[in-house]
């Protein structure tokens, strides 16, 4: 979850969320990585039962409603309403679209593999910044982009490899990363003055509105069991609402550079959760491909972290 958002995006107005949580840096960073890594586990459990659209509708709606009282408490309701159309658009690009694509990818891919694809956000940010926004690329970013795409090729496997993951699921995961990048640029240029709690609450509620018309076309075939219900609640309450509050605290207390180290920890936790709780295989393909991608992310981040503040949520 972008990212993100997602993988969410916001500038350093994160001080508006200060005082809600008070955690030391290292425990907060580990907890954030565990929560965002856990989002891929929860999607892997719930998506096959509820389907991607219903799962993400529940995720963003619950998360937005849980955060809404904080908006009211801070007296930001008018601010939320004033920017409702932009928040709707950003909610589509930073939550509705990428979350749904990642949930779709999780139908076929392991939690670890989906999280690695989600980690390509800084690589695409550097590439799109160069191609679309005329930002310069240094040699580190160029090598980082190349490493990242080599890692994706390794992760996908050779065409004749019977064990290769479904290409459509890979494309969905990478498209989610691209969506986070465009959401980040829109937020930076149009919503950088908006308080963080308004941004994330409005984007989650906006995402729920975007997905609403799709619900009748993807009604689940079965009622969810207890494990699926708990996974949905954990995804919304822990991996979205709570994770964003921790993320904002880290941005305020230690800055973007140290906070963005969470990018490298999320796949570690996602792989660990999948292996421990879902018995997902730890293959050489995942380690080599994931290692190349994260190496590319480290190099690409050298320019990305100067330009945007990014939450690499699944």
Neighbour count for residue 126 (Cβ, 10 Å) = 29
Of 20, 1, 60, 72, the closest CA to residue 251 belongs to 20
- Number of folded domains in the chain? 1
Q: Which structural domain range is residue 45 located in?
A: 14-307
Cβ neighbours of 62 (radius 10 Å): 19
**Gap between the Cα atoms of 10 and 92, Å rounded:** 15
Residue-level pLDDT at 259: 73
According to the model, what pLDDT value does residue 57 have? Answer: 98
Give the position of tokens 């993988």.
7
User: Would you state the pLDDT for residue 302?
Assistant: 62
> Considering the domain boundaries, does residue 314 fall inside one?
no
Determine if residue 53 is left, alpha or beta; phi over 0 gives left, psi from -120 to 50 gives alpha, anything else beta.
Answer: alpha
CA angle 115, 61, 37 (to 5 degrees): 20
Q: Given this model, what pLDDT does residue 93 score? A: 95
Amino acid 7: pLDDT: 35
Handedness of CA 287, 291, 292, 297 (dihedral sign): positive
- How far apart (Å, rounded) are the C-alpha atoms in residues 135 and 80? 31
- Listed in sequence order, the DSSP H helices in 51-96 are 52-73, 77-82, 84-91
- Going by C-beta distance under 8 Å and a sequence separation of 6 or more, which residues neighbour residue 220? 49, 50, 51, 54
Does residue 158 lie in a domain region?
A: yes
Is residue 1 situated within a structural domain? no
Distance in angstroms (rounded) separating the CA atoms of residues 192 and 199: 9
In a domain, 148, yes or no: yes
Question: How far is residue 42's CA from residue 53's CA, in Å, rounded to a whole number?
Answer: 14
Nearest to 5 by CA among 175, 215, 293, 240: 240
Domain contains 164: yes
Q: Is residue 303 part of a domain?
A: yes
The verdict on residue 8 lying in a domain is: no
Q: What is the DSSP-derived secondary structure letter of residue 217?
A: G
- Strand segments, DSSP code E, in 139-214 are none
HSE (CB half, 13 Å, CA atoms) of 95? 35
* Tally of residues, the chain: 314
Could you give the CA distance from residue 255 to residue 241 in angstroms, rounded to a whole number?
20
The answer as to whether 28 is a domain residue is: yes
Q: What is the mean pLDDT of each run of 10 residues along the chain (314 residues)?
A: 37 44 75 94 97 98 96 94 95 96 96 91 86 81 87 71 75 94 87 89 96 95 94 96 87 74 86 93 85 85 50 59
pLDDT of residue 4: 38
Taken in order 136, 9, 271, 261, is the CA torsion positive or negative? positive
């Amino acid at each position: 979850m972008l990212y993100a958002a997602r993988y969410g995006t916001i500038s350093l107005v994160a001080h508006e969320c200060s005082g809600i949580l008070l955690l030391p840096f290292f425990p907060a960073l580990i907890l954030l990585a565990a929560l965002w890594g856990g989002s891929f586990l929860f999607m892997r459990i719930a998506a096959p039962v509820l389907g991607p659209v219903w799962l993400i509708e529940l995720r963003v709606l619950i998360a937005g409603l849980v955060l809404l009282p904080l908006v009211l408490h801070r007296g930001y309701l008018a601010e939320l309403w004033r920017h409702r159309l932009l928040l709707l658009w950003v909610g589509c690009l930073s939550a509705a679209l990428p979350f749904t694509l990642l949930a779709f990818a999780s139908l076929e891919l392991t939690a670890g593999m989906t999280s690695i694809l989600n980690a390509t956000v800084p690589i695409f940010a550097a590439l799109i910044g160069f191609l679309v926004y005329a930002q310069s690329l240094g040699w580190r970013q160029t090598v980082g982009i190349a490493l990242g795409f080599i890692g994706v090729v390794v992760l996908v496997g050779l065409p004749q490899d019977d064990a290769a993951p479904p290409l459509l699921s890979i494309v969905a995961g990478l498209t989610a990363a691209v969506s986070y990048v465009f959401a980040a640029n829109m937020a930076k240029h149009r919503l950088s003055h908006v308080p963080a709690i308004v941004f994330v609450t409005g984007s989650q509620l906006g995402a729920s509105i975007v997905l609403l018309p799709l619900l009748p076309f993807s009604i689940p075939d079965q009622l969810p069991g207890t494990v699926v219900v708990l996974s949905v609640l954990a995804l919304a309450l822990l991996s979205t609402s709570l994770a964003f509050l921790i993320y904002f605290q880290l941005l305020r207390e230690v800055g973007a550079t140290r906070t963005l180290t969470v990018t490298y920890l999320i796949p570690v936790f996602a792989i660990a959760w999948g292996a421990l709780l879902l018995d997902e295989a730890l293959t050489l393909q995942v380690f080599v491909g994931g290692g190349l991608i994260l190496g590319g992310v480290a190099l690409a981040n050298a320019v990305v972290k100067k330009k945007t503040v990014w939450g690499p949520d699944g």
